[in-house]
């Protein structure tokens, strides 16, 4: 079951990152079905006594409470048997215009709300199963290696497409970001976030390998020899993965994705230096090496990205205006929301003539969730991210060994939290599923391994 979970997450980026807005709407549905089946099988095994849960409600209840609160409210938004004053006012207008008896709901589009809820439940299932199976450090390590090698595979594919001049994603032509590296993703920013998550896992594994291989060496010469031997021997594939993923990230030309990943790398190196897993000197040295490597790669292939970074202008961008209009839409239903997953439907009623582009997403996950779910339920979801930060930070301070996992989880949360302020990568199924897989392992290793398994 653990490897089936790994497989479904690693395969999620194949069908265009399972982004149902464009093509292959079945992809995220299939992922949700498989995750649901795995959850059901795990529950049966626990009920029959064949398997004991590693973590019960005693330690996870804050996350379960926040998650279920948001999920239950999203379900309530999609049903008709709710007070009439809760229903979106456009239902009444539509019924009068069409002279039909409609079934109104809080959500403007109950089908989209149920679809978004299904994806949310799938992400929660991935996190829960990863949490249960990653209590053993070897499983958590396998999660990081799996994300690393998947990141390498998708980066290599993207590099091949980019350098051959092909503007295809598999057998279909690109219809967006034709000149940018997007691998199997449609959106360059979403791929940049996925690459960033892979890069964090790779960096964490490399740092631990370096620290373990040279930590017992006596002299500087011996340490250098061991480092070269280790990185060109057993760990050579990690080095290749780091180079390939970083190159693909730069060629994606995603400003926010690149800056968020660099911030995540800086945070990862910093917090690893605070632990006993990696010596502070090695963390500093590796951080300097990363800065040099990023500078070299950026100089070689980052001309377009550099031009975009130098051309950041809020005046010319429509994003601030979209944020302003979204805030206005939130004020119309601050508590109830307009329905989870309904931003596209709602925003068309608020957009003005000065908005030239078509917006499927708000390009700010926090504002979009507040609009769709209402502020209370959105805060519950945001509370999960805050809880991840607090738990993993406590874990990296608490754990004397295997601290790399909470460190990677902490840095990954910083990456997606920062990027979500200007984009919607965490709303892409492949990215969200990968993040939840990593966080399950990170949270599982944030608690002491000496504590017994929880009782329900």
Higher local confidence (pLDDT), 253 or 276: 253
Query: What is the average pLDDT across 338-354?
Result: 88
Higher local confidence (pLDDT), 63 or 59: 63
Residue 92 has pLDDT above 70, yes or no: yes
Give the Cα separation of 247 and 65 in Å (integer).
Answer: 41
Task: State the average pLDDT for the chain.
Answer: 85
pLDDT class of 122 with cuts at 50, 70, 90: very high
Task: Identify the three-state secondary structure at position 294.
Answer: helix
Residue 15 has pLDDT above 80, yes or no: no
Q: Is 338 exposed, middle or buried (0-12, 13-18, 19+ CB in 10 A)?
A: buried
pLDDT class of 289 with cuts at 50, 70, 90: confident
Query: What is the average pLDDT across 8-16?
Result: 86
Total domains in the chain come to: 1
Residue 454 has pLDDT above 70, yes or no: no
What pLDDT, on a 0 to 100 scale, did the predictor assign at position 315? 47
Residue 11 has pLDDT above 70, yes or no: yes
Contact (Cβ atoms closer than 8 angstroms) between residue 203 and residue 263:
no
Question: How large a percentage of the chain has pLDDT more than 70?
Answer: 84
Residue 456 has pLDDT above 50, yes or no: no
Q: Which distant-in-sequence residues (6+ apart) come within 8 Å of 437 by Cβ?
A: 5, 6, 9, 126, 127, 130, 143, 147
Whether 326 is in a domain gets the answer: no
pLDDT tens digit sequence for 423-444: 888 889 999 999 999 999 999 9
Query: What is the average pLDDT across 85-101?
Result: 78
Whether 410 is in a domain gets the answer: yes
Whether 367 is in a domain gets the answer: yes
Whether 122 is in a domain gets the answer: yes
Contact (Cβ atoms closer than 8 angstroms) between residue 19 and residue 429:
yes
Rounded to an integer, what is the distance from CA 191 to the centroid of its chain? Answer: 11
Q: Which distant-in-sequence residues (6+ apart) come within 8 Å of 46 by Cβ?
A: 52, 53
Whether 100 is in a domain gets the answer: yes
Whether 54 is in a domain gets the answer: no
pLDDT class of 313 with cuts at 50, 70, 90: low
pLDDT tens digit sequence for 179-232: 889 998 888 899 999 999 999 999 999 888 877 766 555 556 666 666 666 656
Give the Cα separation of 330 and 369 in Å (integer).
Answer: 10
Residue 316 has pLDDT above 70, yes or no: no
Q: Of 97-101, 319-323, 436-440, where does mean pLDDT reach its minimum?
A: 97-101
Task: Identify the three-state secondary structure at position 456.
Answer: coil
Buried b / exposed e across 248-264, counting CB within 10 Å, b at 16+? Answer: bbbbbbbbbbbbbbbbb
What pLDDT, on a 0 to 100 scale, did the predictor assign at position 399? 79
What pLDDT, on a 0 to 100 scale, did the predictor assign at position 210? 78
Whether 56 is in a domain gets the answer: no
Give the Cα separation of 161 and 139 in Å (integer).
Answer: 33
Q: What domain range is 419 assigned to?
A: 2-37+82-315+360-444
Q: Of 193-197, 274-278, 339-343, where does mean pLDDT reach its minimum?
A: 274-278
Whether 203 is in a domain gets the answer: yes
Q: Of 118-122, 288-292, 443-447, where does mean pLDDT reach its minimum?
A: 288-292
Among 213, 242, 243, smallest CA distance to 228 is for: 213
Query: What is the average pLDDT across 354-368?
Result: 86
């Amino acid at each position: 079951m653990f490897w089936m979970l790994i497989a479904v997450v690693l395969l999620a980026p194949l069908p265009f990152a399972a982004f149902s807005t464009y093509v292959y709407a079945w992809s995220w549905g299939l992922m949700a079905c498989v995750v649901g089946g795995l959850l059901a099988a795990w529950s049966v095994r626990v009920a029959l006594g064949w398997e004991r849960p590693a973590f019960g409600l005693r330690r996870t209840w804050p996350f379960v409470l926040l998650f279920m609160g948001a999920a239950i409210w999203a379900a309530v938004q999609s049903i008709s048997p709710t007070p009439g004053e809760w229903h979106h006012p456009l239902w009444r207008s539509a019924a009068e215009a069409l002279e039909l008896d409609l079934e109104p709901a809080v959500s403007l589009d109950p089908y989209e709300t149920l679809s978004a809820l299904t994806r949310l439940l799938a992400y929660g299932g991935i996190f829960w199963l990863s949490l249960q199976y990653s209590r053993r450090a070897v499983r958590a390590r396998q999660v990081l290696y799996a994300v690393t090698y998947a990141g390498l595979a998708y980066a290599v594919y993207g590099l091949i497409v980019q350098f051959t001049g092909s503007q295809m994603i598999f057998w279909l032509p690109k219809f967006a970001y034709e000149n940018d590296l997007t691998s199997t993703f449609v959106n360059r920013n979403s791929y940049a976030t996925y690459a960033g998550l892979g890069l964090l896992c790779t960096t964490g594994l490399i740092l631990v390998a370096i620290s373990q291989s040279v930590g017992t060496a006596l002299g500087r010469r011996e340490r250098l020899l061991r480092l070269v031997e280790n990185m060109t021997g057993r760990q050579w594939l990690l080095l290749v993965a780091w180079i390939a993923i970083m190159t693909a990230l730069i060629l994606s030309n995603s400003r926010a994705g690149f800056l968020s990943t660099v911030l995540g790398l800086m945070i990862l190196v910093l917090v690893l230096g605070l632990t006993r897993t990696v010596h502070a000197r090695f963390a500093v040295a590796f951080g300097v090496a990363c800065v040099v490597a990023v500078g070299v790669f950026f100089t070689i292939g980052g001309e377009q990205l550099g031009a975009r970074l130098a051309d950041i202008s809020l005046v010319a961008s429509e994003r601030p205006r979209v944020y302003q209009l979204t805030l206005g839409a939130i004020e119309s239903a601050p508590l109830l929301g307009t329905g989870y997953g309904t931003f596209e439907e709602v925003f068309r009623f608020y957009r003005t003539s000065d908005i030239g582009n078509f917006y499927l997403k708000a390009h700010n996950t926090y504002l979009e969730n507040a609009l769709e779910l209402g502020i209370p339920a959105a805060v519950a979801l945001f509370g999960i991210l805050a809880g991840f930060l607090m738990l993993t930070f406590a874990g990296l301070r608490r754990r004397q060994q295997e601290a790399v996992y909470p460190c990677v989880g902490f840095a990954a949360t910083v990456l997606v939290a920062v990027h979500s302020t200007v984009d919607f990568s965490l709303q892409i199924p492949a990215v969200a599923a990968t993040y939840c897989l990593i966080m399950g392992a990170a949270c599982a290793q944030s608690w002491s391994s000496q504590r017994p398994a929880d009782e329900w």
